[in-house]
Amino acid sequence: MEYKLLINGELVDGAGTMPVLNPATEEILAECPTASEDQLNEAVTAAQSAFEQWKETSLDERRAKLGEIADIIDANSDELARSLTQEQGKPLEEAMVEISGAAMFFRYFQSLDLPVEVLEDSETQRVEVHRNPLGVVGAIIPWNFPVFLLAFKLPAALLAGNSIVIKPAPTTPLTTLRLGELIANVLPAGLVNIIADKNDLGDKITTHKGISKISFTGSTATGSRVLASAASTLKRVTLELGGNDAGIVMDDVDVEAVAPQIFDGAFGNNGQICIAMKRVYAHESIYDKLVDQLAELAKEAAVGNGLEQGTKLGPLQNKMQFDKVKGYIEEGRADGTIVAGGEVPDGKGYFIPPTIVKDIDDDSRLVKEEQFGPVLPVIKYDDIDDVIERANDTDYGLGGSVWSSDTDRAYEVAKKVDSGTIWVNKHADVQPHIPFGGIKTSGIGAELGEEGLAEFTARKVINVAKA
């Protein structure tokens, strides 16, 4: 398939090209067009022009377009999911869930409103709060969920009345470019622009004077640079960044019941999820049994090409992450005991089996840092207040979970965990109507829900004196 950039409603060649690899085979999947700075400027100019028209359209018209995009995603879900598996690596079944989830998120935002809020309507004055669009949004998308995370940003931006320039990750641009081709004739020219790059246009987007807001999902280190560069033009910024989510497993759990849920919370998408469970604290009374259960699940999980039926975990998405995770495995081997996985197979593909590490302490790099891969440390504790303090002893604050047969007891613990989201007896449950975002170095602002929609708007107060 030939891929094109989407600029000003036209499908165009890039100024250059780059190979996109299939991480399961390390073979070139396709040649992808890459944009120049001039093409980025063309996209922003087109988006500025489209914004002037789009902001005047009715909310009903905007909603209708979101519905059309959702229908297109659903109608092409098989093709998009297969493309996603080939470039990202995740099993085809998970890719289908991502594609259908994206369509669902578009339909959720289609249902929202932007009502005028009346703060006061008295004899002396009427005070209203209006939500106006910002202008051009720059959306920078990571490689772990290229389509799903796009659906955190694109429908909210459009419903609020903005235009957008989208930059997918260089290792996973193809499905996004294909989606751009599918929706090109549905939207006004220039409203949605999609460019790809070799990681050389990010700072041009974040400093561009024609862009009013940056919505970024990615690592904390990159997010810090995004914030610094966006400050030069005082852009609005939403950052959803890294996490080191702790799962606290209390002494009264049914280990056999919760172990599969904990495993999925840690190893979904091969652990390449910002809100994956990165470390598990298990009470000493159930520690050995939980470790054994997780180890069995790890040994049973089929690792392979995501297009092959029965695959539970595909490859890591790229060579850089593959090498990084191999380093964390060696940290686990030195600092603890590997009870499942730990051996990287020979041959092509960035495959790493799910790895469980026990008898490891909080000061290990594997516990303190975000591994973003299929390696899970399981740490023992005996005092609940102590483990809460240990779970909170991190610069991150994205998510976390508490597991107990007594929901009320778990709830009291959950209130004391420092994170943007804390789940009880589940993990990584993201729904479109629930705002999502981190604290500390895990991000700024929120996405999803009415609160997430508001972040794509500017507050305008109209204060009228009455005679």
Among 207, 216, 193, which Cα is nearest to 14's? 193
β-strand pairing of 443-444 with 236-240: antiparallel
The kind and range of the H/E element at 243 are none
- Which positions are annotated as active-site residues? 240, 274
Q: How far apart are CA 410 and CA 167, in angstroms?
A: 40
Among 316, 324, 310, which Cα is nearest to 270's? 316
Q: Phi and psi dihedrals of 364, rounded to 5? A: -70, 145
Q: Coil, strand or helix: which one is 22?
A: strand
| Token pair belonging to 217 | 């999902």
CA angle 82, 219, 228 (to 5 degrees): 130
Q: What single-letter amino acid sits at 41?
A: N
Classify residue 400 by its DSSP letter. Answer: E
Query: Please, is 350 exposed, middle or buried when counting C-beta atoms within 10 Å of its C-beta (0-12, 13-18, 19+)?
Result: buried
Q: How far apart are CA 32 and CA 121, in angstroms?
A: 56
